[in-house]
Structure 1
Amino acid sequence: MDVKTAFLNGELEEENYMRQHEGFAKDGKEHIVCKLGQAIYGLKQASRRWYFKFHQTVSSYGFEENIADQCIYLKKCGSRFIFLVLYVDDILLATNDHNLLKDTKELLSNHFEMKDLGEAAFVLGTEIQRDRARGLLGLSQKTYIERVPSVLT
């Protein structure tokens, strides 16, 4: 899933001001600045504020943050579970229960403007291969590995 305009969801804790954009200021009022009410792209704090908003939201619905990687979350409901992996504004979901997947997508869509990209085929240069008939899931970095030599030369 993709979070549309993710950084705009961040809530600022401190006061931030910016100069007016060129062509926006009226004559004689060029000295006036704009006080930001929320994070915007390009603001140093924007990605951190987005992460805090996201963390607060999913944690309030029972997702637990991974100790080793703060962008991986797990929610368990008896024998059902769902992993949520956040990478900037992209979310990868992996579960053993379709209803839990549907509920999680609905939860995310209720809090953020989302785009469902369907089943993942590539994530961070890793190809995801599925053989549902045999119950197999494979990961391949072939494409990534084939590109590495060209980057090094």
Structure 2
Amino acid sequence: MKSDGTIDKYKVRLVIKGYRQREGLDYFDTYSPVTRITSIRVILTIAALRNHSIHQMDVKTAFLNGDLEEEIYMEQPEGFSAPGQENKVCKLVKSLYGLKQEPKQ
């Protein structure tokens, strides 16, 4: 939003209905590849002892950049389908918010 309260630009985010996925059928395991806190502490300690600079970054769309390892299909989003093609589904090529497999990609 702009400072005067008007809309600067419209944004949209496509979210999959991950709550409908069933473990053992739609996905088999979930995890997120993160570093252990002890590893982070060791690196910070070494950097402090050697007077190194420390920089931090965050990739806001990191989960969306991973390729999927298996074929995943989803219903078309409401208002997305063309007339006469309402019963077709979408095959995902990249991960989406809400997908159970999302963090491990």
> What TM-score do you get using the length of structure 2 for normalisation?
0.44
Q: TM-score, normalised by structure 1?
A: 0.31
More helix by share: 1
More strand by share: 1
